[in-house]
Amino acid sequence: MNSEIGSLIFRRLGIAIITLVIVSFAVFFTTNLLPGDTATILLGQAATPEAIEGLRQAMHLNDPAILRFFRWGLGFLTGDLGKSYANNMEISTLIGDRFVNTMELAGLTTIIAVPLALTLGITSAVMRGWLYDRVVSVLTIGVISVPEFVIASTAVLIFAVYLRWLPAISFVNEIHSFSDLLRMYAMPVVTLTFVVSAQIIRMTRAAVIETLDTPYVEMALLKGASRSRMVLRHALPNALGPIVNALALSLSYLIGGVIIVETIFNYPGIAKLMVDAVATRDLPLIQTCAVIFCAGYLVLITIADIIAIISNPRLRK
């Protein structure tokens, strides 16, 4: 059995690696299809053709695309992310602090969103059909129906413009106390929490309800097991696989949601860095940021698959 689980895990890891290679290939060639010439954008419209051609030669832009892809991929594997076209700085230096900021934002959102969503999802499933369940379901559907940029813009309008309780821009470098931390992260974290929690609540509720309807849970209830024991000892362990998948899918949504949130709140994260790189057509920086986001998504999904395989014997077939 252990060898069977091991082979399945290695197979999932292999699929993730192959997927990342395919995604890297797609990202590289898609970014090269962006309109405009990189050398012309960097030098400006007033640059002479000779200067533009010289810059293209210096940046190897005239080399075949497939050669540039293999050169970029080899550098990525060896830790050499290359240099930014816009400011000639090492991409690893540009990404360093920004990546930490994005992980802080995602971490704070996860700490708040996951316990809140699991609690609401499980209690809603246990109290299925009650007024509490209906209220949670209506609010969840309402949040899912609203895009994150609408939630973020509304939060800025209410709390920053009208009430003036919170800053519209997150100046993370100006945090000197716990109150500063709360003020700077409040709106970005709350916005992402709304988006992430709604999906987790619905999928957790559905997984727990499906497990509660199984014969062995009903048998435990007939034998006199309390509702809390029935949920914690019988229902939740068997619903772990779907719940973990729900968590992974919802947290991977942070990858897309954080781009919008960082842009609206001018948060100095890696997503905002990638958006700025698109404006300057900084291809190496765009490609690196995109691959990092894709790798994060694949890591979450792969971990969820592995946990599901270990917790559910049916998935081993």
Predicted confidence (pLDDT) at residue 124 exceeds the cutoff of 60: yes
Q: CA-CA distance, 121 to 204, in Å (whole number)?
A: 5
User: In the CATH hierarchy, which top-level class contains the domain 96-316?
Assistant: mainly alpha
Q: CA-CA distance, 38 to 204, in Å (whole number)?
A: 47
Q: 3-class DSSP state for residue 174? A: helix
Predicted confidence (pLDDT) at residue 168 exceeds the cutoff of 80: no
Phi then psi for residue 90, to 5 deg, are -65, 130
Q: Could you tell me the residue ranges of all domains in the chain?
A: 15-80, 96-316
Q: CA-CA distance, 151 to 149, in Å (whole number)?
A: 5
Q: Which among 60, 78, 72 is positioned nearest to 27, based on CA atoms?
A: 72
Average pLDDT over residues 18-46: 78
Amino acid making up residue 290: A
Using alpha carbons, list the distances in angstroms from residue 72 to 26, 69, 106: 13, 5, 28
Highest mean pLDDT of the ranges 2-16, 174-188, 189-203, 218-232: 189-203
Predicted confidence (pLDDT) at residue 180 exceeds the cutoff of 80: no
Phi then psi for residue 248, to 5 deg, are -65, -45
Name residue, tokens 């899912």.
144
Amino acid 135: pLDDT: 92
Percent of the chain with pLDDT strictly greater than 70:
87
pLDDT tens column, 274-288: 888 887 778 888 888
Amino acid making up residue 55: L
CA atoms in the 13 A half-sphere facing the CB of 89: 10
**42 touches 86 (CB < 8 A):** yes
Q: CA-CA distance, 80 to 65, in Å (whole number)?
A: 19
pLDDT tens column, 194-236: 888 888 888 888 888 887 777 776 776 777 666 666 776 667 7
